[in-house]
Structures are given as structure tokens and as C-alpha cells.
Amino acid sequence: MNPIVIVGSGLAGYNVARELRKLDKEAPLTLISADSAHFYSKPMLSSALGSGKAPEAIAMNTAEQMATQLNATVRAHVHVTAIEPAQHAVHLYQETLRYSKLVLALGADQIRLTIGGNAAERVMTVNDLTDYTQFRAAIAGKATVAVIGGGLIGCEFANDLTSGGFKVSVIDIAPQPLSRLLPPEGAAMLQQKLTALGVDWHLGTSVTAIDGDGDHLRLALANGETIKVDVVLSAVGLRPRITLAQAAGLKTSRGIVVDRNLATSDPDVYALGDCAEVAGLVLPFVMPIMHSARALAATLAGKPTPVSYPAMPVLVKTPACPTIVSPPSAGIDGKWNVTADAEGVKSLYQDAAGKLLGFALNGKATAERAALTPQLPPVLA
């Protein structure tokens, strides 16, 4: 029998394999990875510096260890060049694999903004362990970092780099950090705590040009300011990897379009994680991956299982201001009701009848997560 083939060795790919092995220890399984196929904690990439972890320490298992653990073939450093669903075939460089079922766990790319200047290509992004190793090498012995993007990843890096002794400037087009997740009051607390740590903010503006300036990089901002730093890191958002699926004729939109069983427009090809659009939702977070992996493993083991998402609060790893958010569904009608004191901000997104639809907790208010989460509607019932 042809193996189940999983493309991608991130949390999504490896977790489908782990969950499948809980249900079926023997089904032939092949995992293909474009990188070294180390299993590592991606969330740790934006929190490792402050906790004194070297990039090597983030990897938990090698490809060989994972292959043994999962009773699977793990192919590292292999690129998939094309998929032919009609033939149940995955084309690699000079080789073709046949699959029984195919799982796309391709992840997402960091969005790169178009920026002028003669050094714009020196902007770094961190999307995997390889990027992170390069980033850590680039900042070694340096003092200043500009972070483009004040969202979740940008704020986590700002906190982590500052804790690690760097002087950090954050630039974001929005007037506040975490503009898509926090109401202004919560954002103000986060901003103030990170400022107290040493973070320098340039909000409501953007980077227009980056030019080399001796050993430094000079950023010209739209508001007329300039910043001189050693390294520039961009974290402005993720774009699902859909080109492989698109070229194979699979239905795509923002992500690879899948149904509640995580099946693409071809019934033997599935997708999950940051590359997938499940019932219209692209949710590049840990919890949706865990739920999807469990459901998909059951489906692959022969019991078709639709995925459902409970409320899934997201923890923002900014120790300077602990923050947990459970954003309301897009387009849902309600308003933020905020209570704040010196130690925390509790923001509840409620409808006219007072029903809780989402929340954002900062500082001491994060202690209320456990009590509030059960009151939230499921993300996907």
C-alpha cells in the first residue's frame, strides 16, 4: 500500500503523525520536510533569548529521533516540486512518490513589505529555526534592533530582545501595538510596560527606506524620523503557502480551502495549520493546529471526523505585561467593556445582552482566563 504522505515538519505535520500513531501504529507513513526536519517549539523562537536559550537548545528532537518515535520515514531537506492529485503523486526533485492520502502542512511565509533604499534586502524575518539561527548570529555582539510590526510576534520579539540586553525600536502603521487583538486600553498598558523595559515606539508610521550607513542601517520613516540600528527584523504578518496547491488545481482562497474534515477539493488531499483555510478561517495559532491534527488523524485512520474549535485564547509571550486574548469572530456585533486598574486591564467584548464574545486580558487580569474561557462561544461549533 502506498504511504500516507505528510508534507511539512512543523507543529502541524508532526502532530498529525503523532496523533495518527495513537490510533494506527503500522500504516506506512512518510514525512517530507524542506528543512532539517528537527522537531522544535516554534513559539519559543520569540522567547528564547530572554530565557538564555541558544538556537540549538530549541530543537527537541532530530529527524532520526522523530522517525523512530513515529515509526515513519522522515525525508529531510527535500523539496516538493509538484503535486498530481489525479495520479496520487508527489514530485520531488528527480523522484516521484505515490501516496494513499496526502496531508499538506506547508505553513505560511512571513509577509515582506516593499521598502525602498539600498539595504532593504538586509531586513530579516524569522519563520523557522534556520531563520532564527541566522538572526541570532546577526545580532551577536550588536546592540540595536528595529522591529517592523507591533503585532503579536513583533511585541514578543521586542520584549525578548530587550530582556536580552538589546535596545529595540518598534515601528507599526497602527497607532497602538497589537492593533488587531487589543482595545486601546489594553494596548496602552502593554505599550507602557514595554516602554518601561526600554522599548522605543514609532507608531502610526511606516518605514519608507532602509539604507546602509557604515556598519549600521538607517531607517527613514514616513513621519520624517530616522532610526539607526544594527539589525532590522520584520514581523508584519503571515501569508499561507498556497502556490503548490494552486498549481495542482486544488481550490485556494486566502489559504488552501478545506472542509470541516480538512479535505481539500481533492478528496485524498488534506491540509491543516497555517496553510489551510478551514470553513473560511485562517488561524495561524497553536491551538487550532492541535485540534485539527487530532481530527485529521482520526479521519486518516478511517473514521471521518470533522474538526471543531472551542474558544482558543492566545497567550502573548510578553512577560513585561502578560497578555491573553480571545478575539471575537470577525464581523460579530458587540462592544468592548473595559475595567482597568494599576495592575491590569480586563476588556470584555460583549453583545447587547451582555453575552461574552471575546476578551483581552493584561497584567493581573490574566488570572481570569480560566473563569472567562468557558463563557465564550466556540470558534467553530
Q: Tally DSSP H helices, then E strands, for the chain.
A: 9, 26
Which of 150/288 has CB closer to other proteins? 288
Residue 280, judged by CB atoms within 10 A of its CB (0-12, 13-18, 19+), counts as exposed
User: If DSSP states are collapsed to H, E and C, what string results for 17-62?
Assistant: HHHHHHHCCCCCEEEECCCCCCEECHHHHHCCCCCCCCHHHHEEEC
Positions in 83-112 near other proteins (CB under 8 A): none
Report the 10 Å Cβ neighbour count for 149: 25
198 binds other proteins (CB under 8 A): no
Distance CA 156, CA 162 (A): 10
205 binds other proteins (CB under 8 A): no
Which of 44/120 has CB closer to other proteins? 44
What is the nearest approach in angstroms of other proteins to the Cβ of residue 248? 30
379 binds other proteins (CB under 8 A): no
On whether the CB atoms of residues 198 and 167 are closer than 8 A, the answer is: yes
Which of 334/363 has CB closer to other proteins? 363
290 binds other proteins (CB under 8 A): yes
What is the nearest approach in angstroms of other proteins to the Cβ of residue 44? 5
Count of residues that bind other proteins according to CB under 8 A: 16
What is the nearest approach in angstroms of other proteins to the Cβ of residue 334? 23
Tell me the window of 35-43, 135-143, 210-218, 327-335 that interacts with other proteins (CB under 8 A): 35-43
Site string for other proteins, 49-88 (x = CB under 8 A): ---------x-x----------------------------
> For 171-312, where are the alpha helices, taking DSSP H only?
184-197, 243-247, 286-300
301 binds other proteins (CB under 8 A): no
Kindly state the helix (H) or strand (E) to which residue 372 belongs, with its residue range: helix 369-372
Sign of the Cα torsion 216, 221, 224, 227 reads negative
What is the nearest approach in angstroms of other proteins to the Cβ of residue 122? 29
Q: C-alpha cell of 20?
A: 495518527
Which of 85/284 has CB closer to other proteins? 284
164 binds other proteins (CB under 8 A): no
Q: Could you tell me whether strands 200-203 and 167-172 are parallel, antiparallel, or unpaired per DSSP bridges? A: parallel
On whether the CB atoms of residues 317 and 156 are closer than 8 A, the answer is: yes
Q: Which residues pair with 32 in a beta bridge?
A: 7, 75
Residue of 20, 44, 170, 242 interacting with other proteins (CB under 8 A) = 44
327 binds other proteins (CB under 8 A): no
Which of 39/349 has CB closer to other proteins? 39
352 binds other proteins (CB under 8 A): no
Kindly state the helix (H) or strand (E) to which residue 171 belongs, with its residue range: strand 167-172
Q: Which residues bind other proteins (CB under 8 A)?
A: 11, 39, 41, 43-44, 58, 60, 286-287, 290, 312-313, 315, 317, 367, 370
